[in-house]
Structure 1
Amino acid sequence: MPRPPYDASLKPVARRLRKRMTKSERRLWSKLRRKQIHGYTFNRQFIILNYIVDFYCRPLRIAVEVDGITHDDPEVARNDIKRQQALEALGIRVVRFPSGEVMNDIDNVVQAIEGCVLEIEAQREL
């Protein structure tokens, strides 16, 4: 699977974000890393176009986003919609979770991601 197009000037920003992950991002990363989800690799703070997604599974084209309280702001919400539309136009499935859900119900978050993985695998078999 070829790498989606990206803005290379964002590499230092992505590197910095990897070093400063939020608590909820770290919690989810502990469940996504080392091919724990059906043997698939997820990358963190992955650059696509001029955006940085929290987690990305390249073979399945799944972007996983953890939304903190700032995403409640109307301007941020509008930007999230625009960003999601741009990613979906590339054939990337975007899955979003509030940070509170990641912190308080990680098992259901992981199940939801596994459900997306299984759904995409099933579609490929058709």
Structure 2
Amino acid sequence: MRDPVLKHRARGMRMVPTDAERHLWQYLRNGQLGGWRFRRQHPIPPYILDFVCLEVCLAVEVDGGQHADSGYDEARTAFLKSRGWRVLRFWNNDVLRNPEGVAASVLEALGGVRRADTCPHPDPPPLGGGGN
């Protein structure tokens, strides 16, 4: 079932990105990074991910100091990995000081990946063509 609250929250987060998210988005948007298409603040229930490349199930997370030693982040990463996602994490200060290097790391992670629609839909529609 689609979560309208999560979707609304993601839209709100896109409107007020952190400085680091704004910097990295300049490298990821519009297929600028090797032609790969990224989305920002994308819901994968029950989470909202900073950046995702749906073609290859890659999540890119930009973390501030509040994420240091975070059990929440470990659980979130384990959840995503159990569903076939790869997760890259970068600290805010790394993105702000070296956005080109971070973008190069993301591109390197994509380097050995074949383009295919291999990612399971994060919120599949109900079976049976169900309407109400």
TM over 0.5, shorter chain: yes
Structure 1 equivalent of residue 111 of structure 2: 118
Aligned partners of 1:6 and 1:48 also within 8 Å: no
- Residue 100, structure 1, aligned to residue 93, structure 2: yes
Q: What does 1:1-126 correspond to in 2, within 5 Å?
A: 7-72=3-68, 74=69, 77-121=70-114
Percent identity of equivalent pairs: 36
Aligned partners of 2:52 and 2:59 also within 8 Å: yes
Q: Give, in whole Å, the separation in 2 of the partners of 1:97 and 1:6.
A: 29
- Secondary structure of 1:55 counterpart: strand
Instruction: Report the AA paired with residue 7 of structure 2.
Output: K
Q: CA RMSD in A?
A: 1.5
1:6: Cα distance to partner? Answer: 6.0
Larger % of helix: which? 1
1:79–1:87 distance in 2 versus 1, CA, 3 Å: same
TM-score (norm 2): 0.82
Instruction: Report the AA paired with residue 61 of structure 2.
Output: E
Which contiguous aligned blocks of 4+ residues in structure 1 show a shift greater than 4 angstroms? none
- Secondary structure of 1:121 counterpart: coil
- Secondary structure of 1:97 counterpart: strand
Per-residue CA deviation, residues 35-74 of structure 1 (Å, 9 max, x unaligned), is: 01111110000011200000000001100000011112x4
TM-score (norm 1): 0.86
- Name which one, 1 or 2, has greater alpha-carbon Rg: 2
Aligned residues: 115
Q: Give, in whole Å, the separation in 1 of the partners of 2:67 and 2:20.
A: 14
Instruction: Report the AA paired with residue 11 of structure 1.
Output: K
